[in-house]
Structure 1
Amino acid sequence: MADTINTKSPWLKNYLDGVPAEINLGDYTSLLEIVDESFNQYPDHLALEFMGKSMTYRQLDILSKNFAAYLQTLKLDSGARVAIMFPNVPQYLIAMLGTLRAGYIVVNVNPLYTSRELEHQLRDSGASVLVILENFAHVYQSIADQSILKEVIVGSLGETLGAKGLIVNVVVRHIKKLVPKWNFPHIRFNAALKIGRQHPYVKPELTLDDVAFLQYTGGTTGVSKGAVLLHKNILANIIQIEHWLDPVFQHRHLNQKVSEQAKSEQKQLVFLCALPMTHIFALTACALLGMRKGGLLLLVPNPRDITGFIQFLMKHPNINIFPGVNTLFHALIHRPEFSKVKLPHLLVTIGGGMAVQKKTADLWQKLMGVPIAQGYGLSETSPVVCVNTPLITQFTGSIGMPVPSTDVIILDEEGIEVPFGETGEICIKGPQVMAGYWNRPDETQQSMTADGYFKSGDIGTMSAQGEVHIVDRKKDMIIVAGFKVFPNEIEEVIASMPGVRECAVIGSPHRKLGEIVKVFIVKDDPDLTQAQVMLYCKQQMTSYKRPRKVAFVDEMPKSNVGKILRRYLRDL
């Protein structure tokens, strides 16, 4: 099977000039080398900006080493896990890089988790240390008595901002009251850095086969599992994405009406970090790729505050790379004030995390002048598997082509490769694919084919040109009287209906048909009725695909990156 795909790999002939078929990890022995390289190459470049305060690569280098040195004073076991529960604040980067530089394993924790979800992840990973923002400390409070952690490090929103930070903390704690009461043994983040500064940092001896991250799956279809991502997995994906985007980096002002003065002023790539860096998409495609390029990371801790986010965008017209998800793009373009946002240096908008809908993509391009280059990946693949080329001129609807050194095949339920254009499960082989699920050998085995392809659980098709289209999640597929119905298709149709802001489709049990289609809708037009939705669907879809049930809701349940969680809708 592998030989078959390697001989035809139809996507290779459609690669942009300069994008290699295979990547080379060079002499790198771990992620530490690539991090050190950036620190040595760009010491005076601004590494990040947060709440108007900037930090250079030299400063980030020193602080992350201090954090690493502090962790080393704790005398943790080799391969110890450090759980990090921060939004997009400087402390996340300091802690994440410091953990890797100490030789330990990063366990990224969604800062929106409940106590139950946090407890599951701490227990499942066997974490020794938790690093958490005080805004979320109350979440840990209720499980602190049962915890087996060796240390809890608590940070505050303003502690990296100097004198301004004192004011920020007063506002956050006492005026906005965003820090609920908590009380458990801990050390403050800045105190840990101070201790680390007083101790020598010892660079660990790591290999490409050492574990770098336990990246927990979103749990959108079941219990969250830890994907074991090795140093070589993340390193490979950084290099894969870098090669893929190189054409737009090299022609950064291609087809853009930018003055010569503006071109000369634009010396550093600027990455928007609005998606949480604890999520694999933003971790690799924003934080680590951004550092690889010596870029400036603009940290947005709460993109759900759309009004505040739009004001932020107005102040940062220098953004080059804008990763996002459909719900974020959708929320922005439906605000009248977003029309005032101008991003003349925008090179590429990358859509991932969930399906980007055409209606949203077309409106985005009309307003921003740059199409959304949709991509595809998973926690288990570090994450990028496929992506549209960065020089597309319009939204394609596909997830693009496999990135270098990546094989993608489409298999039927018997594990046989299907012809071009037919649906099946997307299966992936490449250096970015995880080593397995943490402490779950049976599930690891079930997730792989006999010849080493990871079974994604996503249903898709591949064209003769090597472009892949996502149909839907395998577990979200609805069977109506024996007919297969894919929610993404129905959602795409209903989202295009006037008066619909957002929608999500699930299967609802039915005595005769097995399942029927049920749609949940957030209204844009308060006068929208069920009858209107039913009529619209009747005009657009065959009978078995049409929703039999329509429910209006005020908002959709979403993950920390804004992905709609259909599993929660099943309980409504």
Structure 2
Amino acid sequence: MPITAEGYVARQIAEHAYQNVHDLLRDAARQHPERPAFSCGPSSLSFAELERHSDAFARYLRHCAGLQAGERLALMLPNSLQYPIAAFGALKAGLVLVNTNPQYTAGELTHQLRDSGAVAILLLDRLLPLLRKVQGDSAVRQLLLTSVDDIEQPQYACDEPDATRFMQALRLGAEAPPLDAEPGLERLALLQYTGGTTGVSKGAMLTHHSLLANVIQTLELFMRPGLLDPATDVRIAPLPLYHIMAFATNCLSSVGMGLHTVVIRDGRNLDEIIGAMRRYPFSLLSGLNSLFVGLMNHPDFTSIDFSHLKWVTSGGGPLNLEVGRRWQALTGAPVLEGFGLTEASPVVCTNTRLTPYREGFVGAALVDTEVRILDEEGNPCAVDEPGELCLRGPQVMLGYWQRPEETAQVLDADGWLRTGDIALQDANGLLKIVDRKKDMILVSGFNVFPNEVEDAAMRHPGIRECLAIGVPDARKGEAVKLFVSLRDPALDAAAIIAHCREHLTGYKVPSQVEILDELPKSSVGKMLRRELRDRERQRSDAS
């Protein structure tokens, strides 16, 4: 059972005198200043260098740019060394980060800038034309520009009259008066926007306390004897830091551990990831299902030295069991799945090599985290009975930014968060995420969970990836349709259905199979059932 909400996390915060997320970096720089903190491309930063640069950026923001604590700064960056410098600097200065996807369209960017009220933005210089299209519809008045290779080839001069180059900001900040970290655990630290799969994208309000709590919870699990040695371990981190999972684990928790993290500029560039794997004796890798599939199909994958690899962490989307099995067979290292969501800063539970493990389960809830599995009437479910996962803990968000009605739908007065995920809990407290509540398929009155269909389909060696959705059916109400991409081009729909029939009861077997060259994915590689459902709906409306 987890410790109560006033337990472990509260004691750790008091012991370390945490008042700001930047304090994680403060401690790391004191304890191991020369240890590498982040590497990206050809460059690296030690913890001492990262603290010095982030301090300069904090000074610039407050003393030179005139920004005030509580104002919002959007970061529209791919993975780079500039990202942790800017993030820790802005947090030290008391600003609120707004993680912004650099692949946003003009409409998506307009919504996020307007909704957050961001007054400043740090972005790649090549994205400036996009920003100019929408800037007039936002409150943005301060622009900071950087280039992908700014660390290696710094630029200081800027032709834009209302903008400053990032490296010039660091130079000016280093000359500005000293600045203490802005205190206040309950201050807002981050507006992390949800993916918008169930409506308009909403900003989850995460405080310094909730982010620090989640780092502390994660460290309690992973900094146990026999698991990690931060002095020598190296983590390869392909997922984009603007995504909540990567931000919390690969940025904040890595600093809290004192771990060397190699961030990949473009996580979709498998050649870049393979190159980093060859360059560093890596012991950890974080990713998600589609990344593992892509890497295993890369022609150079089998030439990588996996002798140092302890385990791989999977999150940000469900892990297909067959993908995990293939990975371990090829590398000798397990894929340990975890679960989280933006509204929980984000980690709720995860497996380690020392905790009880059960295939297909995502581990037990983190310390100080309470979970309930509830049925449609709000009653507790029995052991191994699926229902909606609800949770409470110090990592849970304050609510959605300026959306009290939406907040009330998911967060009650006692702090319980309704996740919208269907889960079950076994007798040992381990959790299994069955599926998203909205993804469930109702076939002749029976519940069918797409993940179960996909796991069965992926047992066929000729299938590369797959997604299952429900489609209208006059007789059954809904039927299962399976979309696949293939490793074996000779495989056809009939053979796939026959294979599924060997592993699934009748009503769960796909009625239809559609073969695609590629399945739709988000910018972080998460497969998108929503796009397939929308496509099927449009086909149905047109017929």
What whole-Å deviation, never above 9, does each CA across 1:59-103 have from its counterpart, x for those lacking one?
Answer: 211211121122113323441111101111011111111110111
> Which of 315, 323, 328 lines up with 2:279 in the alignment?
315
> Which of 78, 84, 94 lines up with 1:93 in the alignment?
84
Residue 476 of structure 2 corresponds to residue 513 of structure 1:
yes
C-alpha displacement at 1:361, in angstroms? Answer: 0.9
Counterpart residue identity of residue 237, structure 1 = N
Where 1:399 maps in the other structure, the secondary structure is: coil
Tell me, in whole angstroms, the C-alpha distance in 2 between the residues paired with 1:47 and 1:33.
15
Per the alignment, residue 482 of structure 1 pairs with 445
Give the TM-score taking structure 2 as reference length.
0.91
Per the alignment, residue 354 of structure 2 pairs with 391
- Change in Cα spacing, 1:220 to 1:495, as seen in structure 2 (3 Å) is farther
C-alpha displacement at 1:410, in angstroms? Answer: 0.3
**Which is further off, 44-53 or 151-160?**
44-53
> Which of 532, 537, 543 lines up with 2:506 in the alignment?
543
Counterpart residue identity of residue 420, structure 1 = V
1:322-341 aligned at under 5 Å gives the runs 322-341=285-304
Aligned residues: 526
> Which of 236, 242, 259 lines up with 1:295 in the alignment?
259
C-alpha displacement at 1:335, in angstroms? Answer: 2.4
What whole-Å deviation, never above 9, does each CA across 1:248-269 have from its counterpart, x for those lacking one?
Answer: x54558xxxxxxxxxxxx8333
Tell me, in whole angstroms, the C-alpha distance in 2 between the residues paired with 1:390 and 1:239.
19
Per the alignment, residue 166 of structure 2 pairs with 189
Counterpart residue identity of residue 461, structure 1 = L
> Which of 182, 189, 205 lines up with 1:228 in the alignment?
205
Residue 182 of structure 2 corresponds to residue 219 of structure 1:
no
- 8 Å CA contact 2:368, 2:393 repeated in 1: yes
> Which of 192, 205, 214 lines up with 1:237 in the alignment?
214
Per the alignment, residue 458 of structure 1 pairs with 421
Per the alignment, residue 32 of structure 2 pairs with 42
- Change in Cα spacing, 1:553 to 1:132, as seen in structure 2 (3 Å) is same
- Change in Cα spacing, 1:544 to 1:138, as seen in structure 2 (3 Å) is farther
1:259-408 aligned at under 5 Å gives the runs 267-317=231-281, 319-391=282-354, 396-408=359-371
> Which of 530, 534, 554 lines up with 2:493 in the alignment?
530
What whole-Å deviation, never above 9, does each CA across 1:140-190 have from its counterpart, x for those lacking one?
Answer: 24323433201121110111014xx79xxxxxxxxxxxxxxx989532212
Where 1:335 maps in the other structure, the secondary structure is: coil
**Which is further off, 193-202 or 470-479?**
193-202
C-alpha displacement at 1:127, in angstroms? Answer: 0.6
Counterpart residue identity of residue 197, structure 1 = A
> Which of 176, 180, 187 lines up with 1:210 in the alignment?
187
- 8 Å CA contact 1:237, 1:432 repeated in 2: yes
Residue 56 of structure 2 corresponds to residue 66 of structure 1:
yes
C-alpha displacement at 1:20, in angstroms? Answer: 7.0
- Change in Cα spacing, 1:384 to 1:571, as seen in structure 2 (3 Å) is same
What whole-Å deviation, never above 9, does each CA across 1:171-223 have from its counterpart, x for those lacking one?
Answer: xxxxxxxxxxx989532212222222232242254211111111111223332
C-alpha displacement at 1:281, in angstroms? Answer: 1.1
**Which is further off, 322-331 or 34-43?**
34-43
Backbone CA RMSD of aligned residues: 2.3
C-alpha displacement at 1:297, in angstroms? Answer: 1.7
- Any stretches of 5+ residues in structure 1 without a counterpart? 1-8, 13-18, 167-181, 254-265
- Any stretches of 5+ residues in structure 2 without a counterpart? 536-543
- Change in Cα spacing, 1:467 to 1:251, as seen in structure 2 (3 Å) is closer
Identical counterparts, % of pairs: 39
C-alpha displacement at 1:33, in angstroms? Answer: 2.3
**Which is further off, 372-381 or 129-138?**
129-138
> Which of 419, 430, 445 lines up with 2:408 in the alignment?
445
- 8 Å CA contact 1:358, 1:395 repeated in 2: no
Tell me, in whole angstroms, the C-alpha distance in 1 between the residues paired with 2:10 and 2:22.
22
- Change in Cα spacing, 1:65 to 1:414, as seen in structure 2 (3 Å) is same
Per the alignment, residue 25 of structure 1 pairs with 13
Per the alignment, residue 169 of structure 1 pairs with none
- Change in Cα spacing, 1:377 to 1:526, as seen in structure 2 (3 Å) is same
Per the alignment, residue 538 of structure 2 pairs with none
Per the alignment, residue 372 of structure 2 pairs with 409
Counterpart residue identity of residue 500, structure 1 = I
Tell me, in whole angstroms, the C-alpha distance in 1 between the residues paired with 2:330 and 2:127.
36
- 8 Å CA contact 1:144, 1:184 repeated in 2: no
What whole-Å deviation, never above 9, does each CA across 1:228-252 have from its counterpart, x for those lacking one?
Answer: 11111110111111110122x5455
Tell me, in whole angstroms, the C-alpha distance in 1 between the residues paired with 2:140 and 2:414.
39
Give the TM-score taking structure 1 as reference length.
0.87
What whole-Å deviation, never above 9, does each CA across 1:399-431 have from its counterpart, x for those lacking one?
Answer: 110111111110111111111110100111111
C-alpha displacement at 1:271, in angstroms? Answer: 2.2
Where 2:223 maps in the other structure, the secondary structure is: helix
- 8 Å CA contact 1:23, 1:239 repeated in 2: no
Where 2:435 maps in the other structure, the secondary structure is: strand
Residue 124 of structure 2 corresponds to residue 133 of structure 1:
yes
Tell me, in whole angstroms, the C-alpha distance in 2 between the residues paired with 1:485 and 1:135.
46
> Which of 93, 106, 115 lines up with 1:124 in the alignment?
115
- 8 Å CA contact 2:9, 2:216 repeated in 1: no
Counterpart residue identity of residue 275, structure 2 = Q
Counterpart residue identity of residue 253, structure 2 = L
- 8 Å CA contact 1:480, 1:544 repeated in 2: yes
- 8 Å CA contact 1:245, 1:390 repeated in 2: no
- Change in Cα spacing, 1:386 to 1:394, as seen in structure 2 (3 Å) is closer
Residue 476 of structure 2 corresponds to residue 499 of structure 1:
no
Counterpart residue identity of residue 43, structure 1 = P
C-alpha displacement at 1:117, in angstroms? Answer: 1.2
C-alpha displacement at 1:321, in angstroms? Answer: 2.5
- 8 Å CA contact 2:448, 2:508 repeated in 1: yes
Tell me, in whole angstroms, the C-alpha distance in 2 between the residues paired with 1:87 and 1:440.
28
What whole-Å deviation, never above 9, does each CA across 1:346-368 have from its counterpart, x for those lacking one?
Answer: 23321111111121111211222
> Which of 67, 70, 89 lines up with 1:76 in the alignment?
67
